[in-house]
């Protein structure tokens, strides 16, 4: 019997939303499961992306053998380019997952070619002391897998993200049989997706969305505008199928929607009927009852295609009286205000906006609810359990579910947070200290669909480039600017009050305001992003410095 230790170290995604990444270590070999990013919260205004801190991994760089990806959502793959720019190891994933990684890599200039290793469900690879079997699971994205990682001390089962969809639209069933086999042979540790542990019952099948969407196409007398996540290939397929059935052509609008549908199509994962596509610039010229629009921007992101359409500032598409707009996605907590503002804009324009809870639904979750979580626990009967992917409340609810399974051999459920180390040896499992974790902020410089260089912003060193706060007072009802914009700054040398530089900066903010229409002006999210982008362009050009720019909008 070996007295070597196995360590399982969640480096992101536990006790926080997004940025999923787990290191698994046995002796001198480490593999990384997933490598995701996080979308910045309002408190992080001034940055574009958030990546996990790689300090621990860089310190152990020599031991890292591979990154293994479960599926292609940004919170699982979004930090791969950043990771590879620091640590060059092979990346394992399904074709679709790796294609999505490749798309992101275009924004970076890596020194080396990425080493992609394409895998398929039911295949097994050996990486050092780890034997990894890939197991197909159902999820809102296609080509998602769970991992059964056989180690010298036993099997670690990592679910990735999943739901147990008994009737997936692509007829690729969740491979429950393989789970059952691992369960029979014995699982040392289960890491399982906790996202929906506060939802009772079963998550509905992706197929449940069809009746409502069909009703929309059946009843709509003018344009049908559907927004979903660009990675929701199932949902996009549904819209294409219904458009064909109901004699509409489809315009695909928004950068991510265009590129992901192209990738899915090229891999044979998306069936695009011949002649159904319409160029976005032709969408408004075709008869309104013959057009459907697939558009990105479900979360009200200020610069997204749908948010621009909502404030009538998109170059090709507008929403008009009598159009039907469907938001076929969940509302990520924190985005409610931005999403509801966007809906209100479109409702004012006379569109019938469909969103939220309905039966039959407009959207179903991609994550397992409580009963599915119990099913996976029952099939795998692990000795140890670590809930992953969720805020603390979700992890602890998931752990409570497992409490009821103690009769079946479960010894302990560990509710851990990013950075906590779980150590397992032949005596059992226990907590064993912490490794450094944190967030790295990225200023992507991407403005107006133009991708510029990526800059890592270490907010601990504000003093370096300083902070600039434009202050604008806007009347919410009239959209009128009540004072000249003010700019205050700290630690940014060029920004003395009254300096020519500062005067020009104020004029730039004023110009941004003037150039915005009424609806944009009453929408803080849009205005903050526009002001930030315009001011950033000016400051970078003039000074080559990148202060944090945080617009403060006062509602008066």
* Residue numbers at the binding site for a second copy (CB under 8 A): 15, 41-44, 46, 198-201, 333-334, 336-337, 340, 343-344, 347-348, 352-353, 355-359, 391-393, 396, 400, 418-419, 437-439, 458-460, 462-463, 467, 469, 471, 473, 475-477, 482-483, 486, 488-491, 524, 548, 550, 552-556
Strand pairing report for 324-327 and 352-354 = parallel
Which one of the listed residues 71, 158, 367, 398 is annotated catalytic? 367
CA-closest candidate to residue 154, choices 123, 185, 128, 180? 185
Q: Please, where are the H alpha helices in 160-219?
A: 176-185, 209-219
Strand-pairing partners, residue 264, are: none
Residue number, 133 or 372, with CB nearest to a second copy: 372
Shortest distance (Å) from residue 383 CB to a second copy = 23
Strand pairing report for 324-327 and 49-52 = unpaired
Shortest distance (Å) from residue 66 CB to a second copy = 27
Residue number, 121 or 438, with CB nearest to a second copy: 438
Give the span between the Cα atoms of 355 and 21, in whole angstroms: 32
Helix and strand numbers, DSSP H then E, in the chain: 16, 28
CA-closest candidate to residue 75, choices 43, 49, 111? 49
Collapsed DSSP state (helix, strand, coil) of residue 457 = strand
Shortest distance (Å) from residue 209 CB to a second copy = 16
Residue number, 177 or 348, with CB nearest to a second copy: 348
Residue number, 276 or 473, with CB nearest to a second copy: 473
Residue number, 462 or 540, with CB nearest to a second copy: 462
Shortest distance (Å) from residue 2 CB to a second copy = 34
Question: Cβ(546)–Cβ(539) under 8 Å?
Answer: yes
Give the span between the Cα atoms of 541 and 533, in whole angstroms: 12
Q: N- to C-terminal Cα distance for the chain?
A: 71
Shortest distance (Å) from residue 307 CB to a second copy = 15
Active site residue 316: no
CA angle, residues 356, 360, 363, in degrees to nearest 5: 45
In Å, how far from its chain's centre is CA 1? 42
Which one of the listed residues 161, 175, 193, 420 is annotated catalytic? 193
Helix (H), strand (E) at residue 408: none
Give the span between the Cα atoms of 253 and 138, in whole angstroms: 27
Shortest distance (Å) from residue 495 CB to a second copy = 11
Residue number, 229 or 355, with CB nearest to a second copy: 355
Cβ count within 10 A of residue 527: 22
Active site residue 367: yes
Which are the catalytic amino acids?
193, 367
């Amino acid at each position: 019997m070996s007295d070597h230790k196995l360590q399982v170290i969640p480096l992101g995604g536990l006790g926080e939303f997004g940025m999923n990444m787990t290191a698994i270590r046995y002796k001198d070999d480490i593999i990384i499961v997933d490598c995701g990013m996080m979308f910045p919260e309002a408190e992080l205004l001034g940055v574009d992306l958030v990546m996990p801190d790689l300090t621990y991994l860089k310190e152990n760089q020599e031991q890292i053998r591979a990154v293994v990806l479960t599926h292609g959502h940004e919170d699982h793959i979004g930090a791969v380019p950043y990771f590879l720019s620091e640590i060059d190891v092979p990346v394992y994933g399904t074709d679709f997952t790796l294609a999505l990684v490749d798309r992101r890599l275009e924004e970076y200039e890596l020194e080396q070619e990425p080493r992609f290793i394409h895998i398929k469900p039911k295949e097994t690879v050996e990486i050092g002391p780890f034997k990894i079997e890939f197991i197909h699971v159902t999820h809102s994205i296609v080509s998602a897998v769970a991992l059964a990682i056989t180690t010298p001390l036993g099997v670690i089962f990592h679910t990735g993200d999943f739901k147990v969809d008994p009737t997936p639209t692509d007829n690729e069933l969740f491979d429950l049989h393989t789970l059952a086999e691992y369960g029979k042979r014995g699982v040392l540790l289960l890491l399982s997706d906790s996202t929906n542990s506060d939802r009772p019952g079963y998550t509905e099948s992706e197929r449940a969305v069809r009746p409502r969407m069909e009703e929309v196409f059946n009843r709509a007398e003018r344009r049908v505008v559907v927004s979903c996540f660009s990675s929701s290939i199932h949902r996009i397929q549904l819209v294409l199928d219904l458009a064909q059935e109901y004699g509409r052509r489809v315009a695909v609008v928004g950068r991510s929607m265009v590129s992901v549908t192209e990738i899915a199509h090229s891999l044979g994962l998306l069936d695009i009927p011949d002649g159904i596509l319409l160029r976005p610039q032709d969408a408004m010229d075709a008869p309104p009852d013959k057009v459907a629009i697939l558009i990105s921007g479900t979360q009200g992101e200020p610069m997204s295609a749908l948010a621009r359409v909502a404030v009538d500032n998109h170059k090709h598409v507008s929403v008009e009286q009598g159009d039907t707009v469907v938001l076929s996605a969940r509302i990520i907590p924190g985005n409610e205000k931005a999403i509801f503002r966007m809906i209100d804009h479109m409702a004012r324009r006379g569109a019938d906006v469909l969103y939220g809870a309905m039966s039959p639904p407009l959207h179903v979750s991609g994550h397992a609810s409580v009963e599915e979580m119990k099913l996976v626990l029952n099939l795998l009967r692990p000795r140890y359990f670590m809930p992953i992917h969720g805020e603390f409340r979700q992890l602890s609810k998931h752990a409570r579910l497992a409490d009821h399974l103690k009769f079946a051999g479960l010894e302990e459920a560990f509710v851990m947070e990013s950075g906590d180390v779980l150590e397992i040896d032949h005596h059992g499992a226990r907590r064993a200290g912490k490794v450094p974790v944190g967030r790295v902020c990225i200023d992507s410089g991407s403005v107006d669909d133009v991708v510029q260089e990526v800059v890592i912003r270490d907010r601990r060193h504000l003093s370096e480039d300083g902070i600039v706060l434009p202050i604008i007072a806007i009347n919410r009802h009239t959209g009128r600017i009540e004072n000249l914009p003010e700019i205050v700054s700290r630690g940014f040398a060029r920004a003395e009050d009254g300096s020519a530089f500062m005067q020009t900066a104020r004029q730039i903010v004023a110009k941004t305001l003037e150039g915005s229409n009424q609806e944009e002006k009453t929408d803080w999210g849009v205005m903050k992003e526009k002001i930030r982008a315009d001011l950033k362009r000016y400051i970078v050009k003039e000074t080559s410095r990148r202060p944090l720019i945080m617009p403060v909008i006062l509602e008066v």
